A = this chain, B = another copy of it.
Amino acid sequence: MNAKQLMEQVGARAKEAARAMAKAPTRAKNEALLEAARLLEERKARILQANARDMEAARARGLSEALLDRLLLNDARIAAMAQGLREIAALPDPVGEIRAMRTRPSGIQVGKMRVPIGVIGVIFESRPNVAADASGLCMKAGNAVILRGGSESAQSVAEIVACVREGLERAGLPAEAVQTAPTTDRAFVGAMLQATEYLDLVIPRGGKSLIARVAAESRVPVLKHYDGVCHVYVDRAADLAMAENIAFNAKVQRPGVCNAMETLLVHAEIAPRFLPKMLARFHEAGVELRGCERTQKLAGEVPVAPASEEDWRAEYLALILAVRVVDSLEEAIAHIARFGSGHTDAIVTNDYAAGMRFLREVDSSSVIWNASTRFADGYEYGLGAEIGISTDRLHARGPVGLEGLTTEKWIVFGHGEVRG
């Protein structure tokens, strides 16, 4: 069979399973998640053996240390997968929730009911734990999922998925609700991206080139996660001690993640009081600084390289920071609109009008007032778990949890009403 035929086979099974999952009681879905968690722990030795085979093959193929680290499973990582599934079981079931019912002049009552999306394709790279996380979230939201991981993690993923499928069966739910691609042939990804009849959503989890390929090729709707070029703007009415803490945390606490700050914007009025101390603190923490001319003048002994337009657009994901002095709130908002990536941006100010304008006018998936950009995260927002942070505008923006894996339909309660 070619890739298209394989996809049709997998897709037809997923569609049927999705109908069963859509009406599955909350209790059965939770039981499946808890059984899967138990099985992951019970079969730890088998999973580690499979992972050792994947690791060996990967080493033989000369994969980088960074990739090998992503591929690696150990006791702690297996425990974390199991714990993740238990946390998803503990979350409220979003499916079936009814909201906003209102009575219309005709007499009908109309509102919305939350329902699963259907069949979701998850295309990921080397991290095998994505198989557990993504399956768990998709299942709880009442969907079926087709997982397509990288060939380097195939054996580890197969063992993990076996636990999840057995969990489903023990709970009386169809194992076919979680399937893996029947081939690691790259053509299968192409077939998934054309399978609008079977797939309702595709979620690529991985590096920029994977996401770009999926976005460019897919005829199925895609939930994407692009760059985080995040800003902190220190307004002239900021509490400067608070601003220093927030900016420091946003850059230094975990620089390699998408919600870390990449550019610091400072209002010219407070820059002479704020920047010298702030820049010194960054320098002490090992942060490489690149600034506009005014920043450089305020840096004193601290080395600040000249920033180019490339720096304003950079997602460093490292201990490097671009710094710019701006003359107004408007200039800060314009800078973010021009150079930002619409991920997460923060303002520090005690001025009500400035904060409200920033909140309203900055067009990012998370806009934060007086807190660190590092809070833009599913756990911190109370979603319990996230399948990613969407930089798309439609359907779901920012951290995506169970709600983002569902949609809403209209429902109407009538009493025999007809239209006149």
Contacts and interface: CB of A to CB of B under 8 A. Distances in A.
A410 B364 CA distance: 8
A22 B254 CA distance: 33
Interface stretch (A74-82, A291-299, A391-399): A391-399
Contacts of A366: 409-412
A366 to B, nearest CB: 4
Contact of A409 (B254, B367, B370): B367
Interface stretch (A86-94, A101-109, A165-173, A268-276): A101-109
Interface string A409-420: 111111111110
Interface in A295-333: none
Nearest to A359: B411
Nearest to A415: B370
Interface stretch (A35-43, A152-160, A374-382): A374-382
A374 B117 CA distance: 25
Interface stretch (A125-133, A181-189, A245-253): A245-253
Given A245-B418, A394-B395, A337 B369 contact: no
Given A221-B221, A394-B395, A407-B397, A412 B245 contact: no
B380 A104 contact: yes
A113 B201 contact: no
Of A118, A250, A371, A415, most buried by chain B (CB within 10 Å of CB) is A371
Contacts of A31: none
Contacts of A248: 418
Contacts of A370: 413-417
Interface majority SS on A: helix, strand, loop or mixed? mixed
A235 to B, nearest CB: 14
A229 interface: no
A207 interface: no
A239 interface: yes
B368 A412 contact: yes
B418 A372 contact: yes
Contacts of A414: 368-372, 375
20 contacts: A19-B337, A19-B361, A22-B363, A108-B368, A110-B382, A200-B393, A221-B394, A246-B416, A248-B418, A253-B419, A365-B410, A367-B411, A368-B411, A369-B412, A370-B413, A372-B414, A372-B419, A375-B412, A381-B410, A395-B395
Nearest first, the 5 closest Cβ-Cβ pairs linking A and B are A371-B414, A249-B418, A242-B416, A370-B414, A368-B412
